[in-house]
Amino acid sequence: MSRLLVVEDDSTLRRALGITLRARRYEVELAQDGATALKLAAASPFDLVIVDLGLPDLDGLEVIQALRGWLAVPVIVLSARDAQRQKVEALDAGADDYVTKPFGMDELLARIRAALRRAEPVPGGATSVVETPAFTIDLAAKRAWRESAEVRLTPTEWHLVEALVKRPGILVPGSQLLAEVWGPRYEKETNYLRVYFAQIRRKLEPDPGHPRHFVTEPGLGYRFQP
């Protein structure tokens, strides 16, 4: 049973989310503000976090950034803020997905299932290690190291890394990556890829401004060069 943390200040929506998610056999903890959410997250592990950006005490972005200090689980944003800039800011802060209010409950449930699938460990238990001069990736263990220091990647970052690393030297179209990670409805959301690959390069590439391993082919897609 997956454990979900829902951070939402609207009591009616918070209660509705709790009822719906528990009916789908998720274990759910509810928080009405950012401080409560951080206390709950520090006290026990969760498999996924849902965060509203408009909280009464902390901005949702602050909550996401704080959670990313020690959690690598998927984070889904719920927000009435629908400007592209705000979506990019949330993704930059560490969110894995962004759902705009008002939303359909079926869509949110599908996003939750997709995020949890992306976070699942590679099956089989066999170690699949990829080494480059800059970093080492263990796909089976979902661990990465750069200069002997472990690097934390979010579940969505892992999914993108795996999609390229498993196809070394092969150009993968951006639309294909978007469909694999977020679903076919997102094949035109190229800003998602720009944001996430910038984050991946900052974490793994020695010179993120001139990447050697996660390479952009302008107008075409992305390629992993070992």
Read off the CATH number of the domain in which 183 is found: 1.10.10.10
Query: pLDDT band at residue 147, thresholds of 50, 70 and 90?
Result: confident
Q: CATH number for the domain including 79?
A: 3.40.50.2300
Q: What are phi and psi of 143, to 5 degrees?
A: -135, 145
DSSP code, position 59: B
Q: Do 113 and 17 fall into the same domain?
A: yes
CB 222 within 8 A of CB 166: no
Q: Kindly state the average pLDDT of the residues 33-41.
A: 93
Locus of tokens 């720009």: 194
The count of structural domains within the chain is 2
In whole angstroms, give the CA distance from residue 96 to residue 184.
16
200 lies in the same domain as 100: no
Q: Could you list the residue range(s) of the whole structural domain that residue 89 is in?
A: 3-119
Average pLDDT over residues 191-205: 93
Final residue of a structural domain among 119, 137, 153: 119
* 55: pLDDT strictly greater than 90: yes
Please tell me whether the peptide bond between 102 and the residue prior to it is cis, using omega within 30 degrees of 0: yes
Residues 112 and 173 in one domain: no
With 60 as the cut, is the pLDDT of residue 51 above it? yes
Distance CA 96, CA 192 (A): 10
Helix (H, G, I), strand (E, B) or coil at 65: helix
Q: Residue 92 pLDDT more than 90?
A: no
- Does residue 172 form part of some domain? yes
Give the integer Cα–Cα distance in Å for 199 and 182.
Answer: 17
Of the ranges 18-27, 34-43, 52-61, 80-89, the best mean pLDDT one: 18-27
pLDDT above 60 for 208: yes
87 lies in the same domain as 13 = yes
Averaged pLDDT of the chain? 88
pLDDT at 148: 83
109/133 same-domain check:
no
Task: Based on the fold, state whether residues 7 and 113 are members of the same structural domain.
Answer: yes
- Sheet holding 214-217: strands in order across? 172-173, 221-224, 214-217
3-state secondary structure of 185: helix
- The residue assigned the tokens 């709790």 is 18
Rounded CA-CA distance 120/47 in Å is 10
Integer-rounded Cα Rg, in Å, for the chain is 18
- Considering the domain architecture, whether residues 102 and 141 belong to the same structural domain is answered as no
Same domain, 156 and 211: yes
Both 93 and 178 in a single domain?
no
Average pLDDT over residues 215-219: 90
Kindly report, residue by residue over 95-135, the tens digit of the pLDDT.
Answer: 888 898 989 999 899 989 988 887 776 555 444 788 898 99
Residue 90's pLDDT band (cuts 50, 70, 90): confident
**Mean of the pLDDT values across residues 17-39?**
95
Question: Does any domain span residue 124?
Answer: no
**Is 212 a member of any domain?**
yes
* Portion of the chain with pLDDT greater than 90, in percent: 46
Q: Is residue 215 part of a domain?
A: yes
E-assigned strands of the chain? 3-7, 27-31, 48-52, 75-79, 97-100, 129-131, 135-138, 143-146, 149-151, 172-173, 214-217, 221-224
pLDDT for the residue numbered 48: 94
Whether residue 78 lies inside any domain: the answer is yes
pLDDT for 140 beyond 80: no
Give the amino acid at 130: V
Burial 18-39 (b: 16+ CB within 10 A, else e): beebeeeebebbbbbbbebbbe
Domain identity same for 88 and 159: no
Q: Among 85, 119, 153, which residue terminates a domain?
A: 119
The model carries a pTM of: 0.66
Q: What local confidence, expressed as pLDDT, does residue 184 receive?
A: 73
Same domain, 218 and 138: yes
Coarse DSSP helix, strand, coil percentages of the chain, rounded to the nearest 5 percent: 40, 20, 35
| Contact in structure between 173 and 221 (CB atoms under 8 Å) | yes
Other Cβ atoms closer than 10 A to 77? 27
